Structure 1
Amino acid sequence: MSGLKPSLKIYDSHTHLNDDVFYSDVPAYLARARHFGVVEMNMIGSNELLNQRAIELAHRYQGMHAVIGWHPEDIARFDAAAEKTLLNQLEDPFVVGIGEIGLDYFNDEHSPHDDQKRIFERQLAIAKDMHLPVSIHCRDALADTYQILKSAHVDEFGGVMHSFNGDVEWMKRFLDLGMEISYSGVVTFNSAKDVQEAMLKTPLEHLLVETDAPYLTPVPYRGQQNEPGFTRFTVEKIAELREQSSVEVALATFDNASRLFLNH
């Protein structure tokens, strides 16, 4: 892990050091991230516990920011009490967005689609009221996600399609709503041609990068557990595919994430 060139400043816009696999050893992963040039990162919540952990990490470590909300896989526990807790948590000054929220029609055994839509719409309404950007989870639900975001007038408060996995036409439709587009390690996979093509067509001023660690590990570490530092390899692959310098891509994605979450 030595001899990395050039020196980069990277913002991992979506990661999970609040997850059990990282939570007992955060300083080590943070040090590794710094080694790779990852100096800012969003801790993403998905339920009451992980939301609280995200806030705690943001308070404890420089360069960490909390984005909290209820993931579609966790909505069975989202009741009036959970919403009240979320509203209280959102008042914390270290919270910079609401997420990850959205729709997941792949893992939907315990999350009926109508319930997912209702809770997604409710959290978007909260985001609009509080003028906080949103981080959107979308799996096998592009059409419904698009329609709900459009109806919510997401352009009024902003957001990002986290780990975007659609094609060029869907990318353009979400851009037209006022969304930013974030790419994870999937964009480094040779098999992910649609995602790579969408990334190439995404204007640099609307492009973010992320790990979604511990998931979606980029090449050359694919098959191992992901971590925030590996955002470096996603930046470098994007730069290679776009025929731009990694410094240029890192700077642009850093500025884009900062504008959305820190200077909103």
Structure 2
Amino acid sequence: MPLPEAGKAVPIVDSHCHLDFENFDEDRDALIARANAAGVTRMVTICTKLREEPAVRAIAEAHEGVFYAAGTHPMSVADEPMVSVEELVALADHPKFVGIGETGLDYHYTAESAAVQQESLRIHIEAARRTGLPLIIHARDADEDMARILTEEHRAGAYDCVMHCFSSGAGLAQAALELGFYLSMSGIAAFPRSAELREIFAAAPLDRILVETDAPYLAPPPHRGKRNEPAFVTRTAAKGAEVFGLDYAGFAARTSENFDRLFSKAAA
């Protein structure tokens, strides 16, 4: 699926990136400008450790199309102070703070901290409930616990959620969709060996799909193995358009509409 011609950029959203990471220290403003030139009119930069929230907030404040979210990443939760519901709720007063997280479960590298990850996840869910802001979930090698906790908590009180950088199994995808949640496509979905993952996305309703970079990680082809950046969300979107049988502009428009519905505080 071809990208738009040069000079004819189509508006699209990068729903998840990490603009505060040191990988971007030397050219942060330039890469945001490159994203804008590629049609990326809005992006959400994610704070993964609450003590770094001021720096992430400053980036959002400095750029019109940049919004931010904050939480404690599951891989860091054992080494960081446990965040409180009240701390997360207080952040929601900022006009550019649009989501809770990323939070979740990661048993691939940090299975030994599963119990504290689950405690942190439930705290973030309660903050999402109280603020009405969407929860941003990271899930890796924890499908069963992830589906169970999300379902238990949703029964206790509804909240909105996106499964960021979704690359888990069909079972977790179905559980999330049944709760009314969203699945986000990252560069992984564009990798040649990700046919099974693309099938999971293709089986999902189009109105539950977002696109993201997770920059600086997971650059899609032809940039795989290099530093990812928000402009490259167009490459993942081109593959997403192919998956859903749309042209690029149609897919970009639909995923942007989905973003506006979920991240209503950052709506165009």
By the TM > 0.5 criterion, same fold? yes
Structure 2 match to 1:161:
163
One-letter amino acid of the counterpart of residue 186, structure 2: S
Structure 2 match to 1:71:
73
One-letter amino acid of the counterpart of residue 237, structure 1: K
Give, in whole Å, the separation in 2 of the partners of 1:142 and 1:205: 23
Whether the aligned pair in 1 keeps the contact of 2:45 and 2:69 (CA below 8 Å) is: yes
Instruction: Tell me if 1:92 matches 2:91.
Output: no
| Structure 1 position 195, deviation (Å) | 1.0
Give, in whole Å, the separation in 1 of the partners of 2:132 and 2:4: 42
Deviations for 1:174-232, whole angstroms, at most 9, x for unmatched residues?
10011101010011111012211111112111100000000010011111110000000
CA, structure 1 residues 208+31, in 2 after alignment: closer, same or farther (shift >3 Å)?
same
Structure 2 match to 1:142:
143
TM score, norm. by length of structure 2: 0.91
Gaps of 5+ in 2: none
| Structure 1 position 157, deviation (Å) | 2.2
CA, structure 1 residues 87+23, in 2 after alignment: closer, same or farther (shift >3 Å)?
farther
Gaps of 5+ in 1: none
SS at 1:58 equivalent: helix
SS at 1:254 equivalent: helix
Structure 2 match to 1:115:
116
Whether the aligned pair in 2 keeps the contact of 1:41 and 1:63 (CA below 8 Å) is: yes
CA, structure 1 residues 198+22, in 2 after alignment: closer, same or farther (shift >3 Å)?
same
One-letter amino acid of the counterpart of residue 108, structure 2: F
Residue correspondence of structure 1 range 211-230 to structure 2 within 5 A? 211-230=213-232
One-letter amino acid of the counterpart of residue 125, structure 2: L
Deviations for 1:227-261, whole angstroms, at most 9, x for unmatched residues?
00000000111112322111010001111112111
Give, in whole Å, the separation in 2 of the partners of 1:185 and 1:61: 24
Give, in whole Å, the separation in 2 of the partners of 1:79 and 1:170: 29
TM score, norm. by length of structure 1: 0.92
How many residue pairs match? The answer is 263
| Structure 1 position 81, deviation (Å) | 7.2
| Structure 1 position 145, deviation (Å) | 1.0
Structure 2 match to 1:60:
62
| Structure 1 position 21, deviation (Å) | 1.0
One-letter amino acid of the counterpart of residue 108, structure 1: T
- Which of 194, 203, 206 matches 2:205? 203
CA, structure 1 residues 46+67, in 2 after alignment: closer, same or farther (shift >3 Å)?
same
| Structure 1 position 126, deviation (Å) | 1.5
RMSD: 2.2
Residue correspondence of structure 1 range 230-241 to structure 2 within 5 A? 230-241=232-243
Deviations for 1:18-50, whole angstroms, at most 9, x for unmatched residues?
111114422101111012111110011110243
Whether the aligned pair in 1 keeps the contact of 2:89 and 2:131 (CA below 8 Å) is: no
SS at 1:182 equivalent: strand
Identical positions, percent: 33
Structure 2 match to 1:194:
196
Give, in whole Å, the separation in 1 of the partners of 2:93 and 2:23: 27
One-letter amino acid of the counterpart of residue 187, structure 2: G
CA, structure 1 residues 5+242, in 2 after alignment: closer, same or farther (shift >3 Å)?
farther
